[in-house]
């Protein structure tokens, strides 16, 4: 649909927008739709979009304070605002007496990778002193990192990129990593002459939003010179709610942590907050000074040169969209919306529990995990049928060895009616798949047509698809 070569002459905006509608929009997965229930959300707000537009117009490349003082200084303030909103331990904030501080990275993947690199370089310096008989290459070759087998793929990838072995430790039946599992693995590795470097714990795993036991993991890491990084990419937003303070129990033991504002704090992608308990440790690991990067104000704690805190040199003015969003919404509105999204998930959970054909395997924050009772093949087929119809979008996961469906509250403005719509689609397709409704009554062609006609306008092709599904189900039954 798009020409294979660049045009010699520019086109009119009207023509470009027509091509946009014709070529681009049909191939978009609409993350801001209230019918998007897959992955974790990438929620935004109109305030954030305005802030993004202002930042794009300014075109700041803020790798150091002198490149645009307001860019750096606003980020320092925003990271403190966010830390206060999320009730983080003060040791992570720039406004505390310690060496804590925060930076806005692009994503959780980037933040985790930075943490792995910092931990690695810190460990190399320490181990060279402790083991003068070993070369640096030998030390690096013996390093090992740890995480749960439920952690995001970005954690394992950070080990590959950071040239350090990443051990995936088995979580328990509730998808939680316990301290005893970590301790056993570390002691085994020590006995084999390896050097434990970093533990990446997760608060809100990708599959089921489970929470590793920080109060068990943290003290052991602190006592054994193991860097503890916390990936709270999604669940970190819940820290602002007093009733969910239990999730972050033990957080004070962390050396660094990350949380994605673009998941559940209404700032558009990309925007990931990352905090360090001792910011000097990252600047020591990453600092490379050239004469063209120096200025007379460098080194001030309230005006850090963020180029020392990240992988890339240049950086966007992300704090501007954070400021606009937080300033227009306020803490009270943010807490209200997060609680509202949780209530929407609870509404879906209630529907699933009321239907005896389903079992809810877990439910936390705005995520509900459920499945059809019986063999995995039923749930797999149900998800496949729903995905083909493109009315709602969900993805699978596994829990205790079983195939499950994840239902995530997403979209820019989800409402109770959207949950009703989603459940109606799930229930109707279950009726078609099983050939009977939730009351055990046979589902007929007449029932399917009636159901489709009463929904939002749907092409006749979708009705035909439902009928074909019913025919196949009946043939299988025979």
- Asked whether residue 319 falls in the same domain as residue 238, the answer is yes
User: Is 228 within the bounds of a domain?
Assistant: yes
Is 152 a residue of the active site?
yes
What CATH number does the domain containing 385 carry?
A: 3.90.1150.10
Q: Which helix (H) or strand (E) covers residue 405, if one does?
A: strand 402-408
- Nearest Cα neighbor of 279 from 111, 92, 69 is 92
Domain boundary among 329, 354, 381: 329
- Asked whether residue 324 falls in the same domain as residue 354, the answer is no
Count the domains in the chain. 2
Domain boundary among 329, 344, 378: 329
- Asked whether residue 122 falls in the same domain as residue 238, the answer is yes
Domain boundary among 303, 329, 355: 329
- Asked whether residue 312 falls in the same domain as residue 403, the answer is no
Structural domain containing residue 387: 331-453
Say what the pLDDT of residue 294 is. 60
Calpha distance 202→169 (Å, rounded): 12
Altogether, the residues listed in the chain come to a count of: 478
Q: Where are the alpha helices (DSSP H) in 416-459?
A: 416-434, 445-454
- Asked whether residue 127 falls in the same domain as residue 240, the answer is yes
User: Is 183 within the bounds of a domain?
Assistant: yes
pLDDT (tens digit per residue) in 274-326: 999 988 887 777 666 655 456 566 665 567 777 777 777 778 888 999 999 99
User: Is 21 within the bounds of a domain?
Assistant: no
- The C-alpha R_g of the chain, in whole angstroms, comes to 25
For residue 66, pLDDT beyond 90: no
Confidence of residue 446 (pLDDT cuts 50, 70, 90): low
For residue 119, pLDDT beyond 90: yes
- Asked whether residue 280 falls in the same domain as residue 341, the answer is no
Lowest mean pLDDT among 184-198, 207-221, 312-326: 312-326
- Nearest Cα neighbor of 80 from 357, 323, 394, 300 is 323
What CATH number does the domain containing 151 carry?
A: 3.40.640.10
- Asked whether residue 248 falls in the same domain as residue 316, the answer is yes
User: Is 458 within the bounds of a domain?
Assistant: no
For residue 80, pLDDT beyond 60: yes
Look at 39 and 293; give whichever has higher pLDDT.
39
- Asked whether residue 401 falls in the same domain as residue 435, the answer is yes
Q: Where are the alpha helices (DSSP H) in 311-375?
A: 318-354
What lies within 8 Å, CB to CB, of 178 at 6+ separation is 172, 213, 216
- Nearest Cα neighbor of 225 from 262, 188, 186, 179 is 186
Say what the pLDDT of residue 458 is. 47
- Asked whether residue 72 falls in the same domain as residue 129, the answer is yes
Tell me the CA distances in angstroms from 69 to 61, 64, 309, 310, 326, one per residue in order.
11, 8, 17, 18, 20
- Asked whether residue 323 falls in the same domain as residue 339, the answer is no
Catalytic residue among 80, 152, 260, 268: 152
User: Is 82 within the bounds of a domain?
Assistant: yes
Give the side-chain half-sphere CA count within 13 A for 37. 32
Report residue 301 as tokens: 């704690």
User: Is 33 within the bounds of a domain?
Assistant: no
User: Is 313 within the bounds of a domain?
Assistant: yes
- Cis upstream peptide for 270 (omega within 30°): yes
- Nearest Cα neighbor of 229 from 284, 147, 299, 321 is 147
- Asked whether residue 360 falls in the same domain as residue 325, the answer is no
10 Å CB burial of residue 381 (0-12, 13-18, 19+) is middle
- Asked whether residue 154 falls in the same domain as residue 303, the answer is yes
User: Is 472 within the bounds of a domain?
Assistant: no
Q: Max CA-CA distance within the chain? A: 83
Confidence of residue 348 (pLDDT cuts 50, 70, 90): very high
């Amino acid at each position: 649909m798009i020409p294979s070569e660049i045009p010699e002459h520019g086109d009119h905006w009207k023509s470009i927008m027509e091509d946009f509608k014709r070529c681009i929009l049909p191939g978009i997965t609409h993350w801001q739709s209230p019918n998007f229930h897959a992955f974790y959300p990438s929620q935004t707000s109109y305030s954030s979009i305005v802030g993004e537009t202002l930042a794009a117009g300014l075109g700041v490349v803020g790798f150091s304070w002198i490149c645009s003082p307001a860019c750096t200084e606003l980020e320092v303030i925003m990271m403190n605002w966010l830390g206060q909103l999320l009730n983080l331990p003060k040791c992570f904030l720039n406004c505390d007496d310690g060496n804590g501080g925060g930076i806005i990275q692009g994503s959780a993947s980037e933040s985790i990778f930075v943490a792995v690199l910092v931990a690695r370089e810190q460990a190399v310096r320490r181990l060279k002193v402790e083991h003068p008989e070993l070369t640096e290459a030998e030390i690096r070759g013996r390093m090992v990192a740890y995480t749960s087998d439920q952690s995001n793929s970005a954690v394992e990838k950070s080990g590959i990129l950071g040239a350090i072995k990443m051990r995936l430790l088995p979580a328990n039946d509730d998808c939680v990593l316990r301290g005893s599992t970590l301790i056993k693995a570390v002691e085994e590795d020590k006995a084999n002459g390896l050097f434990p470097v970093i533990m990446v714990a997760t608060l809100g795993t990708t599959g089921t939003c489970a929470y590793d036991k920080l109060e068990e993991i943290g003290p052991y890491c602190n006592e054994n010179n193991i860097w503890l990084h916390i990936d709270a990419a999604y669940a970190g937003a819940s820290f602002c709610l007093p009733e969910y303070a239990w999730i972050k129990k033990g957080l004070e033991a962390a050396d660094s942590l990350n949380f994605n504002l673009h998941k559940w704090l209404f700032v558009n992608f990309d925007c990931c907050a990352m905090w360090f308990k001792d910011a000097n440790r990252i600047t020591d690991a990453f600092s490379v000074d050239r004469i063209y990067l120096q200025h007379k104000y460098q080194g001030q704690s309230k005006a850090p040169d963020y180029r020392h805190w990240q992988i890339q040199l240049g950086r966007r003015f992300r704090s501007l969209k954070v400021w606009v969003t937080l300033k227009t919404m306020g803490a009270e509105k943010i807490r209200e919306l997060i609680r509202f999204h949780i209530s929407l998930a609870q509404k879906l959970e209630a529907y699933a529990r009321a239907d005896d054909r389903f079992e809810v395997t877990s439910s936390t924050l705005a995520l509900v995990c459920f499945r059809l009772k019986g063999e995995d093949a039923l749930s797999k087929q149900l998800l496949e049928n729903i995905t083909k119809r493109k009315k709602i979008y969900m993805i699978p996961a596994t829990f205790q060895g079983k195939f499950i469906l994840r239902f995530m509250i997403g979209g820019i403005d989800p409402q109770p009616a959207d949950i009703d719509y989603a459940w109606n689609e799930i229930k109707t397709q279950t009726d078609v798949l099983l050939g009977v409704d939730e009351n055990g009554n046979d589902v007929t062609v007449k029932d399917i047509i009636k159901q489709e006609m009463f929904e939002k306008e749907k092409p006749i092709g979708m009705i035909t698809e439902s009928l074909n599904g019913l025919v196949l189900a009946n043939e299988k039954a025979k």
